[in-house]
Chains A and B, each alone.
Chain A
Amino acid sequence: MLVWSRSGRLVLWVLFALIFGVLFLAPLAVILLSSLADQWNGVLPNGLTTEHYTDVISGSAGRAVKASLITGFLASALALVSGTWAALSLRLQGPALKRLLGLLFFIPSAVPSVSVGLGLLVAFSHPPLLLNGTVAIVMIAHFVLISAFTFGNVSAGLARLSPDFEQVASSLGARPAYRLWHVTLPLLAPYLVAAFGLSFALSMGELGATVMVYPPGWVTLPVSIFSLTDRGDIFAGAALTMILVVATLVLLLGLERITKRATGS
């Protein structure tokens, strides 16, 4: 214990509560409150209603949720396969190449998302690679942006893996493919699930690259939240934001449960 006096501790806890309340708790609480607000002219809403939720659900929200979930799922699945593949095959490289390639796989996370979108527009707007205006270009943008995170998570998992299991398997005569499927990948499973969950969450909230490339028929949740608030319909925007937050949290908690059950802890 750093501070022994009771009053000193109390002062610090009040300071903590103040910072936490203003910066983290108030924004979440106010989004929830405003998504349920009937009319809001004073300090607090005049009344509560679920009208905004029924409005957005009967309107564009259903399609936006679907677009976000499909984009998030496919982009994360592709990023998981490619990130795991890259992390595993990087182990077979010499140290110098391993360092360089490892760095290259991380670079997409450093480039601003708007520029990733701009690059895709410039590269894929002409035949033979005409993807501009298709759903595929949205998936590609999301894949590029989250690929570094899955690669990083899987690499971190691999680094923590004890090499003993694989060595025992191979000294017992297990072929590389058998060893990969029955030893390495099961040991990596918790990291794979965590990587998938994080990239899904990032994809659900992605805005910068999506606003650059999305076609009219494929409006994701963040884009439709922006167009609602831009039109001045901030209460509907708040309701849709709550839907996005709940969907993201349910997804992350669900995946965490699966991992815990699978690892038996």
Chain B
Amino acid sequence: MSDAVAIRAPVARTESGKFWIVPPAALLALLFFYPLALIARQAFLDDIGVANVAEVIRVLHSRFFLNALINTVSISIAATAGCLVVGLVLALILAFVPFPGSGFIARLIDTFIALPTFLVTLAFTFLYGSAGMLNAGLMETFSLPLPPVDFLYSAWGVILAEITVYTPFILRPLLAAFSLVDRGQIEAASVLGARPFRIVRQVILPAAIPALIAGGSLCLLLTVNEFGIVLFIGAKGVITLPLLIYGKAIQESAYQVACIIAVVNIALSLGLFGLYRFAAGRLGA
């Protein structure tokens, strides 16, 4: 390392090199941070441009805002809990009880990260919708007059879709963490008579906890921000903050209301982002 320092470029060059950061930083400032600041400003101005603080208080106390906030937070927590459970089960089997083709399956699940989120919702309409495969099958088999399965157009539909979409974000760090677990340790424990549950609890889980925390906080952030799934389900009772912002701005042209809600949504997201960075930092990522 001392050699590396000796070969390093002269100080004068690194001093002038500091300015190279300006172009990309300026681009981001103009296209992202400036609009973000204007959202915060617009939250206190009505649509003609006059200061209106009373509107902020009215919106923050309104039923539609509070409902959306509660929906957003509860859906996000439920979906993240689901992702953690499903991700942990899948990762344990993929890593420690592998089967022929398990590597390919792991990669297949990983490609879900690149696919649009609303795909799953659209598929759920065909699977679990009122005229979907499941309901049609049950109605035919038991000759029922009405579709018996009716969870899709509720928060449960959103939660199940989000579990599908965001489980790969848990699976990826978990599989990376499991690949570092010493197989000899597991074999030794198992030869000594430890049952699988005990090995999972005492050997594997401690190694997985940082990955679970980092993946879980990323899931919280992504599910709070999720828009496509909720829009495509289109249930009247399931309005989240992003959907409310879209409705107020585009359908009602109420920009101040949209900006007030956006400020709350952005603050919530940035808080979760801080949590994720903290967790990922502890993980050493």
Partner-B contacts on A (CB < 8 A): 1-4, 8-9, 12-13, 15-16, 19-20, 23-24, 26-28, 30-31, 33-34, 40-44, 82-83, 85-86, 88-90, 92-93, 101, 103-108, 110-116, 118-124, 140, 143-144, 147, 163, 167, 170-171, 176, 198, 201-202, 204-205, 207-208, 211-212, 222, 225-226, 229-230, 234, 237-238, 241, 244-245, 248-249, 252
What total of chain B residues lie within 8 Å of the partner, measured CB to CB? Answer: 92
Among A12, A43, A92, which residue has its beta carbon within 8 angstroms of that of B133?
A43
How many A-B pairs have beta carbons closer than 8 Å: the answer is 256
CB distance from B264 to the nearest CB of A (A): 10
Main SS of chain B's interface residues?
helix
Chain A neighbourhood of B9, CB < 8 A? 170, 176
CB-CB under 8 A for A2 and B24, given A114-B242, A118-B39, A211-B246 = no
Establish whether residues A245 and B119, one from each chain, have CB atoms under 8 Å apart when the complex forms. Answer: yes
Partner of A92, one of B18, B39, B112: B18
Contacts of A237 in B (CB 8 A): 122
**Cβ A112 vs Cβ B266 within 8 A:** yes
A43 interface neighbour in B115, B136, B227, Cβ under 8 Å: B136
Tell me what chain A mostly uses at the interface: helix, strand, loop, or mixed: helix
Smallest Cβ-Cβ distance to A8: which chain B residue: B196
Contacts of B105 in A (CB 8 A): 20
The 8 tightest CB contacts between A and B, nearest first, are A119-B35, A205-B116, A27-B123, A110-B273, A89-B20, A92-B17, A208-B227, A2-B96
Our pick among B32, B115, B231 for the contact of A248 (Cβ within 8 Å) is B115
Is A90 a contact of B122 with CB atoms below 8 Å? no
Instruction: List residues of B whose CB falls within 8 A of some A CB.
Output: 4, 7, 9, 13-14, 17-18, 20-21, 23-25, 27-28, 31-36, 38-39, 42, 86, 89-90, 92-94, 96-97, 99, 105, 108-109, 111-112, 114-120, 122-127, 131, 133, 136-137, 140, 163-164, 167, 186-187, 190, 196, 199-200, 204, 221, 224-225, 227-228, 231-232, 234, 241-243, 245-246, 249-250, 255, 258-259, 262, 265-266, 269-270, 272-273, 276-277
